[in-house]
Amino acid sequence: MTAANEARTILERLGAGGPIWSSDGLEVRSPIDGSTAGRLAETADLEPVVARAVEAFHAWRRVPAPRRGELVRLFGDELRAAKDDLARLVTLEAGKIVSEGLGEVQEMIDVCDFAVGLSRQLYGLTLPSERPGHHMRETWQPLGPVLVISAFNFPVAVWAWNACLALVCGDPVIWKPSEKTPLTALATQAVFQRALARFGDAPEGLSQVVVGGRDAGEALAADPRIPLVSATGSTRMGRAVAQTVAGRLGRSLLELGGNNAMIVAPSADLEMAVRAVAFSAVGTCGQRCTSLRRLLVHESVADALVARLKAAYESLPIGDPREDGVLVGPLIDAAAAEAFEASLARAAEQGGEVVTGGGRLDRDGIYIRPAIVRMPAQTEVVMHETFAPILYVLTWSDFDQAVQMQNAVPQGLSSCVFTDSVREAEQFLSAWGSDCGIANVNIGPSGAEIGGAFGGEKDTGGGRESGSDAWKAYMRRQTQTVNFSRDLPLAQGVRFEV
């Protein structure tokens, strides 16, 4: 059976088959072998989708938050039961290796648990009023329908980060998944429907999937009935969405491209650094927003580290991500391979020297050899995110210079330092250290835990999702003042007698 047909079979097993197929819709492909499973009918009319979400909001916001959490708890149960099938779909549709597919669904389950706890902790504040017999408080209210636009490389986890929080916050969710991974979205929706059936009295339209491409995303982002647009994808997409949403004074939460670096100091444990580089630079075939793209190594250890990395890269098992032991699966499509080759050519023009990798494997699907390229400086090609496994290696002689190099790119997602020096580690984490949303010590830039707020600065878009107080983006803050006295004093002592 082809990979795409296996995906179709799993989808049907999860209860999402049937009339979703059409002769002229979105083509469903698997990057594993380039096979196609047919075409999915695109959502023809977006108007009723938004109308249903608004109606669901009016009912859902009246449901107590801990009861809303109960729905997410049931969803977590259903995800546990469907974990293997859903993870397999992630592998078949996005090309992730088995353990990464399972990890992605585990992340959804973890976010469910987090959100259930949160449903009893949507804390506000009480504030002392300057007026006698008055009481002030700050309360967080449900916001309204949330649009989630997601990228192909985390086809389900990113939606879960958003949806689980939005649902406990009282907001329905409209999901516009990547046109490259619609099956995982439909499968997730089918799993969610099981939770809804057990929950009993949730409004219709609490969670909806829109099958479509960029046009559907653009149209939904422009709709003033959607107060929050959470968009994950390229910086190009984020700029377009930000302008549309700002134009109607809506709120956007943007999770965009990264250009993540690792600084390796002379005292670093090179064995750990090699393992961290391998996972974060070639995992998911370099198609993570947090993939390691720049290795900034002290000149005294650069040759030793590069030699070890070269050996590690040359023994990488590349191939069908369903097979045991494979660590590098396919790129998502031919366009990604062209971008990979074009960036390697530009790097060579800009003085780069390929240490290892580059080129395609001769087999069905798009399989390439992850590359390491030594660069003389952070030239134009280094400044861009190429969504493929290219690791640029640069050297430094002074730690201040290393931090400056780390911060010198337009993106600001994830960063890390490998060092045994407390001074270097603390400087990296200080106000004049890394300018990224994520900064790690002796850990690679990739594979964040859900408990922290996830996101980045500058061209990465500034959004924060998942843990910490990211939930506040999905709610409306209200300052409330109650007068329980028999007088009507004005603030700031203003007198206005009539």
Task: Please give the positions annotated as active site.
Answer: 255
| Cα distance between residue 136 and residue 125, in whole Å | 9
Piece of 191-199, 212-220, 359-367, 479-487 that binds ligand NAD (CB under 6 A): 212-220
Piece of 32-40, 50-58, 235-243, 445-453 that binds ligand NAD (CB under 6 A): 235-243
- Among 95, 155, 227, 258, interactor with ligand NAD by CB under 6 A: 258
Tell me how far apart the 2 most distant CA atoms of the chain are, in Å. 87
Of 256 and 297, CB closest to ligand NAD:
256
Is 304:4 a contact under the CB 8 Å cutoff? Answer: no
Kindly identify the residues of this chain, within the stretch 52-91, that bind ligand NAD according to CB under 6 A.
none
Of 177 and 358, CB closest to ligand NAD:
177
Distance of CA 425 to the CA centre of its chain: 26
Applying CB under 6 A, the site for ligand NAD has a residue count of 30
428 forms bridges with which residues in the sheet? none
Is 276:444 a contact under the CB 8 Å cutoff? Answer: yes
184 binds ligand NAD (CB under 6 A): no
| Cα distance between residue 166 and residue 436, in whole Å | 25
Shortest CA distance to 47 belongs to which of 211, 207, 227, 220?
A: 220
387 binds ligand NAD (CB under 6 A): yes
End-to-end Cα separation, the chain, in angstroms: 84
Shortest CA distance to 91 belongs to which of 3, 14, 151?
A: 3
462 binds ligand NAD (CB under 6 A): no
| Cα distance between residue 222 and residue 236, in whole Å | 17
Of 42 and 269, CB closest to ligand NAD:
42
248 binds ligand NAD (CB under 6 A): no
Phi, then psi, of 412 in degrees rounded to 5: -145, 50
Contact string (CB under 6 A) for ligand NAD, positions 156-175, x = contact = --x-----------------
Distance of CA 141 to the CA centre of its chain: 25
Contact string (CB under 6 A) for ligand NAD, positions 393-422, x = contact = --------------------x---------
Q: What's the min distance (Å) between Cβ of 307 and ligand NAD?
A: 30
Of 357 and 456, CB closest to ligand NAD:
456
* Cα-Cα-Cα-Cα dihedral sign, residues 393, 399, 403, 405: negative
- Among 52, 88, 96, 176, interactor with ligand NAD by CB under 6 A: 176
Q: What's the min distance (Å) between Cβ of 259 and ligand NAD?
A: 9
| Cα distance between residue 31 and residue 140, in whole Å | 43
- Among 101, 233, 352, 433, interactor with ligand NAD by CB under 6 A: 233
Q: What's the min distance (Å) between Cβ of 302 and ligand NAD?
A: 27
| Cα distance between residue 407 and residue 310, in whole Å | 26
DSSP for residue 391:
E
Do you know the residue count of the chain? 498
Of 7 and 148, CB closest to ligand NAD:
148
Residue nearest to ligand NAD (CB): 217
User: Which positions touch ligand NAD (CB under 6 A)?
Assistant: 149-154, 158, 176, 178-179, 213-214, 217-218, 221, 232-234, 237, 240-241, 255-258, 289, 385, 387, 413, 460
